[in-house]
Structure 1
Amino acid sequence: MNNELKTIPLLPLRGLLVYPSMVLHLDVGREKSVQALEKVMVDDHQIFLSTQKEVGIEEPTEEDIYEVGTIATVKQMLKLPNGTIRVLVEGLQRAKIERYTDKEEYYEVDVQLVDEREEAMAEEIALMRAVLDAFEQYIKISKKVTAETFATVADIEEPGRLADIVASHLSLKIRQKQEILQTFDAKERLEKLLDILNNEKEVLGLEKKIGQRVKRSMEKTQKEYYLREQMKAIQKELGEKEGKTEEVSTLKDQIDESNMPENVREAALKELDRYEKIPQTSAESSVIRNYIDWLLQLPWSKETEDNLDIDHAEKILNEDHYGLEKVKERVLEYLAVQQLTKSLKGPILCLVGPPGVGKTSLAKSISRAVGREFVRISLGGVRDEAEIRGHRRTYVGAMPGRIMQGMKKAGTINPVFLLDEIDKMSNDFRGDPSAALLEVLDPQQNNTFSDHYIEEQYDLSKVMFITTANTMTTIPEPLLDRMEVIRIAGYTEIEKLHIAKQYLVPRQREDHGLQKGQFQIRDEAIVEVIRHYTREAGVRNLERQIATLCRKAAKVLVSGEKKKVVLTDKAIEEYLGKPKFKYGEAETEDQVGTATGLAYTTAGGDTLSIEVSIYPGKGKLILTGKLGDVMKESAQAAFSYIRSRANELKVDPEFLEKNDIHIHVPEGATPKDGPSAGITIATALVSALTGKAVRKEVGMTGEITLRGRVLPIGGLKEKSLSAHRSGLTKIIMPKDNEKDLDDIPESVRKDLTFVPVSHLDEVLKHALVGEKK
């Protein structure tokens, strides 16, 4: 280190570093730097070059500039059109800043010069050779330095100068270059440079490997692209248009546009990738293609907006159906709650009632009222679980289940979905479809419904499910628990008349090409058809009879016999033949040993005549009429009760030892079973044993215990309608069923007298008449 101080202008460098013996062009633009240059050009052309620690600093202070720099000579200076100055400098000698002397117009510093030793020691010579060998290998790997440069460097004999020239040709960070610059000892500088060169060689070797790998990958990609283009050209020549590549591209676009959930989208893209790689002739190719098609065709987010106008919905429901107040009220309640919450899960309604009362058509009306898509599937006879949940894709010809097929058909995630005839499902060794339906119809879990074919979870929570059934007895209890049951009992005579006038006659008239002026049917004629040509809870047979009348009227009009057909009650027999049913089946006189019971069947309510005959024998109880186990037990219970109360009922206690008793229910070919015939059988037995007649106008329903208590029954409304149809005027019913009287239409209730009873003694009091015969 030289003790001599030299005062010299300072030029701070940004992103550059100049070593001694190094020649470099610089562009200078900062005002202080320009003034420093102008000063040195006037004096001895020498300037001190030191590098800034941070490139981004515009006005550097003492702390921002490295202390060690290089004294350089300005060889040339040229002013450029953009205002900057280009200078050519040559590094002369290292120096270290001792202090800053002036900082106004330009930076000026006092620097201490650093002397270099020219002769090389033996250890330094060895280090120089090692550095030159490493530098040569570096040049071969990097190819950033020419061979001529190496030849120039190889001739340098001074160790310090060699280190500086080699460092100036390396691609190092400013911090590393500065570290070499401020290492004053030549030997130490060569050692640092050797470490840097060895490290650079390793890095360059790795870069080369990575580059080769990338090149191979690029070559492979280019090769694939070239082959694909060739394949496209061949396919075009063969008339196969764009082939599989175009198809895959189209499918990918469709997947991106389908608004699938992210997990479904990933599954679809994964399958699409497999599809692209599998040859078109492979059997699996069509399986994957079908699967992707299903994922694309299922609605994942498309939703119809509910029409929540209650008045509009009520108008449509009343237009399409007469009566059925409970169901209509339930739909309107749902819409009202939707208006308030906007997020209610779809209800699951189960419409239970006899055939022909309008369950299926009511579901269509509901979908029209709320403005949703409608889809219907019939479950009658379904006995395979895969019908609901689909087959796994490993099977040949696998398909999704009925639920997913219905959703695809609907095209939205919130349709009205009708599951028709849910009570007629069966099961076998292939599984129980009713158990599979539990997941569909459970509001707590149907938001993650899983179909075996689709595999991904599907949200059914926004679907409004409606199921229909003729009877609840064959619906499994767990399934029934998930549904809200609404009973549709059947129609009264007055309701059937209104339905015929408003819906059936106009529809059949239009279907048969008749004008209103050509064919008319009077009200009394419709009543005649209802009473004597149909016996049903619904109106299906009534519509068939009206269709028959329309056909016959059409024949009359076409043949020219008449220009207008107006049907009255007198003309019905001429068109439909003799009456098929006797209206008012009640007995014409009081009978001994015969009682009229009321039954609830899948076709609605019906009357049941129970006859008891007693004749000499050995005490046998004979039951006929194709009775089920429950009715047989009711007969046994009634028989036991009468034996235990023989004295009170004034029956001969020894009647059993001397007689056989035969209980018969007419229409023996029809199976009959149910828990509501107990009091009817007991009344008929008591009548036969005491000789007292049963009132002809009385119908009865109720189960009996061994102590004579009358138990409640179901289907009171249906039974009351059948009693009304049959012409009965008094109904004996269990006292516990008084709450069900509100469900019975007013038009029926005013014609019937209901007698609530809690014990068989009360039944006999109201049912039996007359003295012993």
Structure 2
Amino acid sequence: MKSEERVLPLLPLRGLIVYPNMVLHLDVGREKSVKALEQAMVDDNLILLASQCEVHIEDPKPDDIYKMGTIARVRQMLKLPNGTIRVLVEGLYRAKILEYVRQDDFFQARVEQIVIEEKTDLHLEALMRSVLDHFEQYLRLSKKVSPETYSAVSDIDEPGRLADVITSHLPLKIADKQKILETIDIKERLETLLQIMNNEREVLELERKISQRVKKQMEKTQKEYYLREQMKAIQRELGEKEGRIGEVEELRNQLKELDAPDYVKEKVEKEIDRLEKIPTTSAEGGVIRTYVEWLLNLPWRKETVDDLDLKKAEQILDEDHYGLEKAKERVLEYLAVQKMVKRLKGPILCFVGPPGVGKTSLARSIARALGRKFVRVSLGGVRDEAEIRGHRRTYVGALPGRIIQGMRTAGTINPVFLLDEIDKMSMDFRGDPSSALLEVLDPEQNNSFSDHYIEIPYDLSKVMFITTANAMHNIPRPLLDRMEVLYISGYTELEKENIARQYLIPKQREEHGLAEDQLRINADAIRKIIREYTREAGVRNLERTIGTLCRKAARELVSGKKKKTVITARNLSRYLGSERYRYGRAEEEDQIGAATGLAWTETGGDTLNIEVSVLPGKGQLTLTGKLGDVMKESAQAAFSYIRSRAKELDIEPDFHEKHDIHIHVPEGAIPKDGPSAGITMATALVSALTRIPVSREVAMTGEITLRGRVLPIGGLKEKALAAHRAGITHVIIPQENKKDLEDIPKSVRRDLTFSLVRHMDEVLKLALVGKNSDEQNQS
């Protein structure tokens, strides 16, 4: 035996001992261990591997580490994705720690390297054979070591190495393995191993005797269980009730834990009894099981506790959405009343507004503010009544309706339930789904909602239903009567700027992996995007355009062209191309035979240009531009009004006999309908016949009668926003719409002049250049 002193970095091992001549992988994660490895790689790739006395110690001290270890050579190092380092080490020599040289960043110790010269004599040969025999017996008793290990071990000639290798394969305690490592003398090491293996073999034999004794001394209950299992096996062989007993037991256990009314439990119990009696070969068994599982998985009484903190709710709603004051106010009112009475039937709110104004996301914010679960069901394209009420169980593949499915998804009886796109439902020979919704959305009836599949009354009275629609006129009247309608109109330019700055830009930056200092979009650039690259009531296209800028900026950063991207109004076209819209669609000069109207569509307000051409002819009236029946009738009414007032308007009384009239509304591919373009058509007609131009600054909306009266219209707020976006400064509206001016944002009212009119004569005085008088009725 030779010894030599040297200083080496030390790597403490947990639950593992490395012997000389062993090659294995280690995963190293502790900071001290990593630094010790790094030091070893800097030196000569040698490191001392010593095991900890206690595995659970995370930061060991010298007293926690065994004094005897193994000097190993580091063969390979590989960094893993989780931060740890996988190391391939080869054990070389035993070594004893004499003293610790360093303990701060990593352990470094002065060690005594022990080199053992292995010589074989007859005594050692006998010990080796005895160890191999005992190892073979151990393998036969234990299933923890593979039999192939014996053939690999039996080829080893060196007695010391044989002891080390066999010890490494045995599932021993760390203390026993350390004992073998610390035994320097080879004879003593083999004898110690023989003693350990004898003890292990005796334990294994004792375990086998105990298991045999337990089998013989099986108690009565165990025998019954054994016989029951045999009976199940026999039934499986006969094809009778295969697995049915286990299914029934599982369902009965779920029934015991079910929190539901007694009539529900009785129904489930009855169906489980039916399931137990039905043969396995019957298809009805699967139907009953599915039905029982639906009843067991539905929430019958479980509900979340409402968070009735008004300040917190208001803060959440303001965090998620800018504006939408009426909708937020309604939610806070509901919370206040709930706090007062403790029990209030769930309100049925209907958010009506153009796409992209935040109807769906507002419903999700309401759920977050209340602390309730959120469920969304889209009704777009639904035309089967069974989608709402469910299928009857007699049909193959029957399922509950979307309402019950949503309740199962929510897991509580008081979620916020969003019925999206309620105006997009239709009907056919399979029924009318909107009629099926009447019971769902009626607070007086939905406490006992009946689904065709469930067949048991289900309480929906605690659900807060919210519906969304783009247009109210598409919702059936009886259904609309059960809901409280909240209009969410389009956003003003100022509101869009705030939404972009506070919500859309931070959101898109985060989604595209950009830091705040890597992309900056100036206020003038945001304004230009709103005016010249998007034209919408909501902010969906605005968000899309901001996403495009984020992608462009990300490409510049990754390619190394720039470290920071700043978007301004000047360089915006370089990223987005040419402007798509001309800001301010008002005419640049007064036009003859052309008037600007205001329309209200499902996508918000818009301007409507109406052109009239007078041609030589025989009094034919031609209407083009894909107009609906109501709009055509408005044109006929305007034409008849002008004929009846031709003398007062300085028009030839027989103009209709000498001229053809052609009324055209541009964008002919888009369907247009509604009565509110009546006064616009009449104005354009008078302008074309009298050759007096219409003021470019004026837009108008109102229905006309044969006597020239101006009737009220709907959607004034949306139309006013459209006029504001288009750069109009003067809007003519019916007198009866005065009450709707309060809904228009102050920033829009400040830039627009509204003139209230009762008769067509007033419209002409205001709209035709040179016809203006001092008797304008303005507000």
Partner of 1:319: 319
Partner of 1:290: 290
State the aligned residue count.
547
Partner of 1:392: 392
Answering whether residue 266 of structure 2 is matched by residue 266 of structure 1, we say yes
Partner of 1:432: 432
- Equivalent-residue separation in structure 2 for 1:528 and 1:685 (angstroms): 36
- Equivalent-residue separation in structure 1 for 2:274 and 2:618 (angstroms): 84
Residue identity matched to 2:229: K
- Deviation of the 1:238 alpha carbon: 9.1
3-state SS in 1 of match to 2:676: coil
- Give the alignment's TM-score, normalised by structure 2: 0.69
Residue identity matched to 2:513: G
Contact 1:420 1:467 in 2 (8 A): yes
Partner of 1:715: 715
- Equivalent-residue separation in structure 2 for 1:644 and 1:309 (angstroms): 64
Of all paired residues, the percent bearing the same amino acid is 71
Partner of 1:444: 444
- Deviation of the 1:246 alpha carbon: 3.6
- Equivalent-residue separation in structure 2 for 1:771 and 1:404 (angstroms): 64
Superimposed CA distance per residue, residues 297-326 of structure 1 (whole angstroms, 9 cap, x where no aligned partner): 000000100001111100000000000000
Contact 1:691 1:771 in 2 (8 A): no
- Deviation of the 1:748 alpha carbon: 0.7
- Deviation of the 1:266 alpha carbon: 1.1
Partner of 1:166: none
CA distance 1:228–1:386, change in 2 (3 Å): farther
Contact 2:701 2:713 in 1 (8 A): yes
- Deviation of the 1:356 alpha carbon: 0.3
Q: Please show how residues 27-66 of structure 1 align to structure 2 within 5 Å.
A: none
Partner of 2:599: 599
- Equivalent-residue separation in structure 2 for 1:724 and 1:409 (angstroms): 44
Answering whether residue 640 of structure 2 is matched by residue 640 of structure 1, we say yes
- Equivalent-residue separation in structure 2 for 1:239 and 1:579 (angstroms): 74
Partner of 1:590: 590
3-state SS in 2 of match to 1:586: coil
Partner of 2:133: none
Residue identity matched to 2:354: P
Superimposed CA distance per residue, residues 63-103 of structure 1 (whole angstroms, 9 cap, x where no aligned partner): xxxxxxxxxxxxxxxxxxxxxxxxxxxxxxxxxxxxxxxxx
- Deviation of the 1:549 alpha carbon: 0.5
- Deviation of the 1:237 alpha carbon: 8.1
Residue identity matched to 1:258: L
Superimposed CA distance per residue, residues 401-431 of structure 1 (whole angstroms, 9 cap, x where no aligned partner): 0000000000000000000000001111000
The match for 2:232 among 225, 232, 235 is 235
Residue identity matched to 1:235: K
Contact 1:679 1:701 in 2 (8 A): yes
Partner of 2:669: 669
3-state SS in 1 of match to 2:316: helix
- Equivalent-residue separation in structure 2 for 1:280 and 1:236 (angstroms): 14
Residue identity matched to 2:405: Q
- Equivalent-residue separation in structure 2 for 1:285 and 1:669 (angstroms): 57
- Equivalent-residue separation in structure 1 for 2:524 and 2:452 (angstroms): 57
Contact 1:700 1:732 in 2 (8 A): yes
Partner of 2:465: 465
Q: Unaligned stretches of 5+ in structure 1?
A: 1-225
Partner of 1:652: 652
RMSD: 1.8
Contact 2:764 2:771 in 1 (8 A): no
- Equivalent-residue separation in structure 2 for 1:529 and 1:713 (angstroms): 31
Contact 1:232 1:242 in 2 (8 A): no
Partner of 1:144: none
Q: Please show how residues 608-757 of structure 1 align to structure 2 within 5 Å.
A: 608-757=608-757
3-state SS in 1 of match to 2:474: coil
Residue identity matched to 1:654: D
- Deviation of the 1:275 alpha carbon: 0.3
3-state SS in 2 of match to 1:609: strand
- Deviation of the 1:690 alpha carbon: 1.0
Q: Please show how residues 5-16 of structure 1 align to structure 2 within 5 Å.
A: none
Residue identity matched to 1:232: E
Partner of 1:568: 568
3-state SS in 2 of match to 1:592: coil
- Equivalent-residue separation in structure 2 for 1:771 and 1:671 (angstroms): 33
Q: Please show how residues 14-25 of structure 1 align to structure 2 within 5 Å.
A: none
Contact 2:514 2:554 in 1 (8 A): yes
- Equivalent-residue separation in structure 2 for 1:656 and 1:675 (angstroms): 23
- Equivalent-residue separation in structure 1 for 2:755 and 2:627 (angstroms): 27
- Equivalent-residue separation in structure 2 for 1:731 and 1:454 (angstroms): 56
Superimposed CA distance per residue, residues 625-657 of structure 1 (whole angstroms, 9 cap, x where no aligned partner): 110000000000000011111111111101001
- Give the alignment's TM-score, normalised by structure 1: 0.69
- Equivalent-residue separation in structure 1 for 2:246 and 2:615 (angstroms): 91
- Equivalent-residue separation in structure 2 for 1:623 and 1:397 (angstroms): 53
3-state SS in 1 of match to 2:764: helix
Contact 2:442 2:482 in 1 (8 A): yes
Partner of 1:374: 374
- Deviation of the 1:258 alpha carbon: 1.1
Q: Please show how residues 524-535 of structure 1 align to structure 2 within 5 Å.
A: 524-535=524-535
- Equivalent-residue separation in structure 2 for 1:600 and 1:449 (angstroms): 37
- Equivalent-residue separation in structure 1 for 2:361 and 2:695 (angstroms): 42
Q: Please show how residues 142-181 of structure 1 align to structure 2 within 5 Å.
A: none
Contact 2:242 2:280 in 1 (8 A): no
Q: Unaligned stretches of 5+ in structure 2?
A: 1-222, 773-779
Contact 1:443 1:461 in 2 (8 A): yes
Superimposed CA distance per residue, residues 195-228 of structure 1 (whole angstroms, 9 cap, x where no aligned partner): xxxxxxxxxxxxxxxxxxxxxxxxxxxxxxx999
CA distance 1:645–1:301, change in 2 (3 Å): same
Runs of 4+ in 1 over 4 A off after TM superposition: 226-231, 236-242
- Deviation of the 1:716 alpha carbon: 0.4
Partner of 2:244: 244
Q: Please show how residues 47-446 of structure 1 align to structure 2 within 5 Å.
A: 230=227, 232-235=229-232, 243-446=243-446
- Equivalent-residue separation in structure 2 for 1:675 and 1:335 (angstroms): 40
- Deviation of the 1:239 alpha carbon: 9.5
Contact 2:520 2:565 in 1 (8 A): yes
Contact 2:235 2:242 in 1 (8 A): no
- Deviation of the 1:230 alpha carbon: 5.0
